[in-house]
Amino acid sequence: MSSFILKRNLSDNFTQVSNEFLHDSSISILARGIGIFLLSKPNNWVINQENICKELEIGRDKLKKIFNELIIHGYMHRCRYTTFAKKNEQSVFYYISDSKEHLYKEVVSRDIKNTNSISNQGILSPFTENPLPNTSHKKNPTNNIININNNLSFKNKDINKKENNNTDSLLLDFLNFHLDEVTKNNVLKISPRITLEEFKTIFEKCTTEYKLGYSKNLNSTLILALKKEWRFQSSEKIEKDKRVIKSRVEYFKDLYLHTRDSHEEIVTLFKNNCKDTYSEDLIKEYEQILREQLKLL
């Protein structure tokens, strides 16, 4: 029997998910599983954390951590809108896609331009991936739209004061995409003249701290790092791991000279030796170095 992966051709009751998402090793297998569960739902299915916790029998804190992981890596977007089912009630809505680019195009880019976009019917303007539930506006939808826009204009004045003309527009786009409103404003307050590249460097280092478990909250770690009050333990570990795995490369070069096994056999031994100790990215980096050095022997 030559086929080990058995697939059926389905015409209904199936979910189509890209391999880009399924094979993205930068996010945990649990986050990918929750993502697939959400992507199996209808387009108009509202993502509600409480309902998901009940259906999957998962804790609220754990689900929140998974959502944050998907948001950090660009597969999920969180929006906060003011709805008028109750006076000034704040509601949070989530969008998910198996493509970062598609999510950015359909949802995030619109949210950046107008965080609280309103349609002509007095409801939140629909996005293609996950339309929001209709909000009741029984008396006068037109007046509601005017009131909403007025409230937004006052709300945005304070934000615009902080986002002065010296702030790079690309940096603002990056902050809007990755951070909630409170954290974004704190970043601009602490480091008003930070460049996009400087912020990306700090953000990536903080994300690594979070992924490796040295940080319990990415946003608070980011703020402390900008204040120069955070010690990056992951950086120290990565540097140590690099020194050790570099010595592993030398060991397997010597092994090749003594055994004359094929390059692929040596590389496979190297990967198996490292897989339970080092990160996948680091193994890939030094696997390439080993391959290049084996060619010179």
pLDDT in tens, 248-291: 999 999 888 888 789 999 999 999 999 888 888 889 999 999 99
Number of domains in the chain: 1
pTM: 0.41
In a domain, 29, yes or no: no
The C-alpha atoms of residue 188 and residue 186 are separated, in whole angstroms, by 5
The C-alpha atoms of residue 14 and residue 210 are separated, in whole angstroms, by 34
In a domain, 248, yes or no: yes
In a domain, 48, yes or no: no
With bands split at pLDDT 50, 70 and 90, how would you rate the model's confidence at 109? confident
**Within 10 A of 4 (CB to CB), how many other CB atoms are there?**
5
What pLDDT score does 11 carry? 81
* Span 25-37, average pLDDT: 92
Q: What is each CA distance from 231 to 82, 122, 217, in whole angstroms?
A: 38, 48, 14
In a domain, 266, yes or no: yes
In a domain, 122, yes or no: no
In a domain, 40, yes or no: no
Q: 241: domain range?
A: 233-295
- 165 or 125, which is more confident: 165
In a domain, 242, yes or no: yes
In a domain, 65, yes or no: no
Sign of the CA dihedral 214, 219, 222, 223?
negative
Q: Which two tokens stand for residue 269?
A: 């031994």
* Span 175-204, average pLDDT: 88
